[in-house]
C-alpha cells in the first residue's frame, strides 16, 4: 500500500512536469516520515525512497542508524540553535534556515566537524503570522551575509504554503518563490546557488511542480495521516 502511494505520488509529479514541459528528473521527492515508525520508513526505502524529511532533531537521531547509509535525511522543521550540533553532520540538507543567528550556529558546528552543510533559506511568502521564515524582502540581505560563512552552501529557497482546500489558491505563492529565486540567482552571489526550490506538500505538490518546484515534501500522501496523540 505504501509502495502504491509512493508510485502514485511519483506518477503525479511526472504528470505535473509533462503538463508544463519539465523533465521529471528535475524534481526530488522528499518522503516526509515525521511521527512515522522506522518499519514504515524501511517499507518506503524498499519501494525506492532515499530522501526522507523529518521536522525534529531527536527523530532524525533516533532513526538515522536504523536505515541504510544511503538515505539522505532532510531537516524540514524549525531548528533550535542548541540542537544544531546533533544533526550538522547527519542532515543532507537543512530546509529551514531563517535567521542569521541560526546560520552562524550551523557555521560554527559545521566548522567543528569539518563538514559543509547544504541549506535552504525558508521564506514565509504568504506572510502568515504563525509561520517561521524570512519575509520576501529580507531574503537577499540575509543571503549576502550567509554567503560569507564558508561551511554553509546555500542551494536555494523553501516555503511552507498555507493550508488550503483548493491547491490553486497556493499557485501565486509558489510563483512568487520561483521569481524570487530567479532574481537572486541573477545577482551571482559568491557561494550561493538557487538550484533548489523546496515547495509543495500533499495537498498542493502538483501545482508547486508546475510552478517550478525541484523538491516536494510529501508526508500524508505516502505514509497516511499522522497520529499526533501517540507523540510524547
**Site residues for ligand PLP per CB under 6 A:** 32, 34, 55, 76-77, 160, 201-203, 217-221
First to last CA, the chain: 27
Three cell numbers written together for 190 = 559568491
Residue 54 CB, nearest distance to ligand PLP (Å)? Answer: 9
Three cell numbers written together for 40 = 514504515
**CA-based nearest residue to 174, from 142, 202, 206:** 206
Between 5 and 105, CB nearer to ligand PLP:
5
Residue 228 CB, nearest distance to ligand PLP (Å)? Answer: 11
134 DSSP 8-state letter: B
Residue 189 CB, nearest distance to ligand PLP (Å)? Answer: 25
On the CB side of 33, CA atoms within 13 Å amount to 30
Between 95 and 149, CB nearer to ligand PLP:
95
What is the residue whose three cell numbers read 508546475?
A: 210
Between 94 and 201, CB nearer to ligand PLP:
201
Between 200 and 212, CB nearer to ligand PLP:
200
* Pairwise CA distance, residues 176 & 158, whole Å: 12
Evaluated on CA atoms 17, 23, 24, 28, the torsion sign reads: negative
Give the gyration radius of the chain's Cα atoms: 17
Between 52 and 142, CB nearer to ligand PLP:
52
* Pairwise CA distance, residues 181 & 211, whole Å: 12
Q: Which residue minimizes CB distance to ligand PLP?
A: 219
Residue 201 CB, nearest distance to ligand PLP (Å)? Answer: 4
Residue 51 CB, nearest distance to ligand PLP (Å)? Answer: 12
Amino acid at each position: 500500500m505504501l509502495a502504491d502511494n509512493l508510485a502514485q505520488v511519483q506518477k503525479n509529479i511526472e504528470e505535473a512536469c509533462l503538463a508544463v514541459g519539465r523533465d521529471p528528473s528535475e524534481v526530488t521527492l522528499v518522503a516526509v516520515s515525521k511521527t512515522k515508525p522506522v518499519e514504515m520508513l524501511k517499507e518506503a526505502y524498499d519501494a525506492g525512497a532515499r530522501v526522507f524529511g523529518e521536522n525534529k532533531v531527536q527523530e532524525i537521531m533516533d532513526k538515522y542508524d536504523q536505515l541504510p547509509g544511503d538515505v539522505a535525511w532532510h531537516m524540514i522543521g524549525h531548528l533550535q540553535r542548541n540542537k544544531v550540533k546533533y544533526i550538522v553532520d547527519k542532515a543532507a540538507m537543512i530546509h529551514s534556515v531563517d535567521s542569521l543567528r541560526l546560520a552562524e550556529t550551523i557555521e560554527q558546528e559545521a566548522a567543528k566537524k569539518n563538514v559543509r552543510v547544504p541549506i535552504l533559506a525558508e521564506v514565509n511568502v504568504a506572510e502568515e503570522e504563525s509561520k517561521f521564515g524570512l519575509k520576501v524582502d529580507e531574503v537577499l540581505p540575509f543571503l549576502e551575509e550567509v554567503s560569507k560563512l564558508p561551511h554553509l552552501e546555500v542551494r536555494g529557497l523553501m516555503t511552507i504554503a498555507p493550508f488550503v482546500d483548493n491547491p490553486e489558491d497556493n499557485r501565486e505563492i509558489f510563483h512568487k518563490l520561483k521569481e524570487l529565486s530567479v532574481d537572486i540567482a541573477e545577482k551571482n552571489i559568491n557561494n550561493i546557488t538557487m538550484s533548489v526550490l523546496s515547495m509543495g506538500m500533499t495537498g498542493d505538490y502538483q501545482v508547486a511542480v508546475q510552478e517550478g518546484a525541484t523538491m516536494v515534501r510529501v508526508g500524508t500522501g505516502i505514509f497516511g495521516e499522522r497520529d499526533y496523540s501517540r507523540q510524547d
